Structures are given as C-alpha cells and as structure tokens.
Structure 1
Amino acid sequence: MNQVRIAIAGASGRMGRMLIEATLKADDAVLVAAFERPESTFIGKDAGDLVGSSCGVTITSDVAEGLAKADCLIDFTRPEGTLQHLALARAAGCGMVIGTTGFSAEGKAEIAAAARDIPVVFAPNMAVGVNAVFKLLDVAARILNEDYDVEIIEAHHRLKVDAPSGTALRMGEVVAGALGRDLESCAIYGREGVTGERDGQTIGFATVRGGDIVGDHTVLFAGIGERIEITHKSGSRMPYASGSLRAARFLAAHKAGLFDMQDVLGLK
C-alpha cells in the first residue's frame, strides 16, 4: 500500500493535534513533518507526544526542509502563515490541503495561482457532513426559490477570530448561486435599530461566539406558514481532520489544479 506522506502546519494547535492523531491512526497515510513557529515551546518535541503516542517526528520551524519529504501539507493556521507555506509548497512541488479561512481576495488569487503548479484542495470546511449539507442547500434553494427568506446562523468558540465563518459564507454562496444572486451584493451581516422591512432578495447572517463551541451552522428558509431548517453541528474537530486526509488522498492522483471538497467527494 502506498502511503500518502503528510506534513502538518500549526502542529500544537487544536486542529494540528487532531490532524496528527488522525494521520497516526490511518493505514494509508504517514506523518513525515510537523511545523510550528520558531518561538513555539513545542519546537524539538516529538509531534506524537501531543496526542499521547510518540512517532519519531520532531516538530520544527523549517518548513522548506520538511516539505522536501512530503506529498501533502495540511494547513489550518492563519491566512498570512498559510500563504507563506503555500509559496514553499509550490517551490517544493508539494500538494496542499488548505482549511484556513478569512482570506482576502488577493490571498485567494495567490492560492489559485499556486494551483497552476501544484494540486490544492481549498475549502472552507473539510467535514464530509458539511459538504453533504452544501449539496442539500443547493437543492433546497432551487426548490423553494423566491418564496422563502434565507437566514444563516453560525456559532463558534470564543477564540475564533473571523466572522462570519468560512463555512457560513460558503453556505451563503451556495444558496445565492442557486437563486441567481450575487452574495456580495445581497448579504446582510448585521441589523440594528430601525432597519425597515426585510428585503426578500437579501441573505442574512448572524454570528455567535462563546465557550468551546466547535461549530454549529443553520440555514433557515422562512416562508409564510412554514420554516425549513438545515443544520450541521460539530461535536469535535475529528470530522475536519478525517476530511482533510481524504482530500490528501485525492491530491495524490493529481499533478496540479485547484479543487474543493465537492471535487473530493464527487458531488459536482
């Protein structure tokens, strides 16, 4: 069995640890590198110790050296760090799975440019269940059409720095696309004071931050006399890690190109 050689950025973070655990448990993947910032106290430690299972892979800040022996880098860090890693992955000819959110238009353009040389899966949410929900939202929006108001409610832990979440925004894009709307022009991200009646062409977003909520997303289609709610709730980060490994396996069959989880799951 050919094993996919995995490198993980942000090894000591919540997602980094989950990715290490998932990789160490997988029969068809092997952890070959784990990265942290130079000032991290985890530099020099065994990456497996973060999840209670030593593996012989030392956490390092030398990304270029680590990528030389990897097939795929999985990155759930911050936009600025991810783009630095992307440039190094491109130079190394290493594929990349990007779960980081909060990119600017310029950052997304950099990802698209790098994908001309290396294979990249870039998605706001790697969980298989969430991507099934994206498909359901497309179908629901086309059926319900213009007769239902759309509101998207998302909740995450207190440490999340961007809002709305990348997943919520992608949900909005899916619904807007199915309805023939442009999300950038029809999205409403907050309401306060006397706002007047709701414009039926808008898509509203509401954001909740608190505690240790992993991630809850609900899309509400509100009609006259009925409501339809499509909800996904994450109980842990393991679905994101499992989906990321699935994406890494997918990339092993590609030399270059920009993909998302809908491609990985064959939903397009």
Structure 2
Amino acid sequence: MHIDFRRTLDSDADALVRFLTRESWPFHTVSAVDAATARRWIDEGRFADEDNRSFWVVADEETVGLLRLMELSDDTPLFDLRIRAEHRGRGIGIRAARHGAEVVAHRLEAPVIQGEAAGAPPALEAFEVPIRAALPPLPPAPPCRVDHEVEDGDVLEFGGGAVVLAVPGHTVGSIALHLPGARALFTGDAVANVGRTTLGVFNTDRNRAVESLHRLAELEVGTAVFGHGDPISHDAAAALRAAASAA
C-alpha cells in the first residue's frame, strides 16, 4: 500500500464538508460534525492559514483521510488525524502519523504498541459500562515500531525540555509529559476534560490511576492538554486539584 499526502486547496471546501459530515469521529471532541460547523471551521482557517496546513491522506490513489498540522509557528506543532471509518484498522493512520515523527513510549508499553504483548483490558466502573457499550467496535490496532523507550524522569528534547512522568493506571505504561519552562502538561489518558476535568475513563487499575492523578495535581501548571476534551490554557493546576479531590 502506497501512502501519499496532497495539500488541500481553497477549492476543496465542499469536499472537506462532505468528508467531515459523512463520518463519525468517536475520538474527537466533536464526534458528529454538521455542515454549519464544518463551514465555520473552514472560514476560521482551521485547515489553511499561516498557522495551519491540511493534507488529504491518499492510499493507492484513494482519499482515505485528512491530516491537519496546527500551530506551525510554535516550536512544537501539533497534528490532527482523521481516517474514514471503512479504512480504519488497516494501519493507514499509524503510517500517516509516523510521517516524519518519532514514536516514544514507556518501556512497559512498548511491547503492546509493537504487537509483542497483549494489553490488559479495562476494569470498567458501573457508569463506564453504558459509555463503552455505545462506542462503535474498534478493530485491533496494527503493530507500530517504537523508536524511543523512556522511563519516569527522562527528558525529551522539545519545548525546552519535556519531563516524562510515569502515570500508570489507564495502562501500566501510561505517561504524561511536563514542560516546566512553559508550565504545561500533556496528561495523556490519565485525565479527561470533557465538560469538566476528571479522572480518565476505562482504566486497567483505578487505584493506580487515582494515585497518578494526584501526582499530576501537585504540579503548578498553567496549561494542560488532555487525551480527550478541550485543553485548559489558564490555571490548569486548579482544575487538576479539583479533579483529584473528586476522584
């Protein structure tokens, strides 16, 4: 399978609307995008301006997804990836995400990511059972090579130094990244911020997950970015402390 990327054009507005509205995006904050929202996003420049660029993901000459690069003027740009439902589970997303990127994982998580070991299933809380049941079935994740295995306390060379924090509970090898200089935190799935800031869901070990949340709540961070939900750009530490108290 050959993967290619084609820059979106101004003339692609209608195609972008069709792409966004005809699929469900269960792992995005807005899982069902209507046409008005899609048009507004386009008009706001989310897909094409000086800080954002978007590319169609093309597999064997068929358009199968969309890759959006964000905050390009920042030292640490972000990306958003959407793959059409009928093409999920084929490894296209991993290959698209790896384009020019290094995969970093805790040494305990690396065997699962690389397909060498099975990950533990979540121990669902009562309130999580209907949430899980409502999600569409997920295909098995194809193996992905890990380029760099890390441990608690390791420092990654971006953002002025990103400190790896082991935050087990969601999975045994879950990590967060703390950027002390920027007073920023990437929580991964240890914390969610959908409506309000809470302990992440679908944990394999809730007690360890709560301990990890309390560890993150001790950090004096202004900005927090979550595995699910909107980021917090001001006084994130207060939201994390409130979530830890409620867990």
Range of TM-score over shorter length: under 0.3
Q: Which has the higher contact order (CA 8 A, sep 6+)?
A: 1
- Larger Rg belongs to: 1
Q: TM-score when scaled to structure 1?
A: 0.26
Question: Where is the helix percentage greater, Structure 1 or Structure 2?
Answer: 1
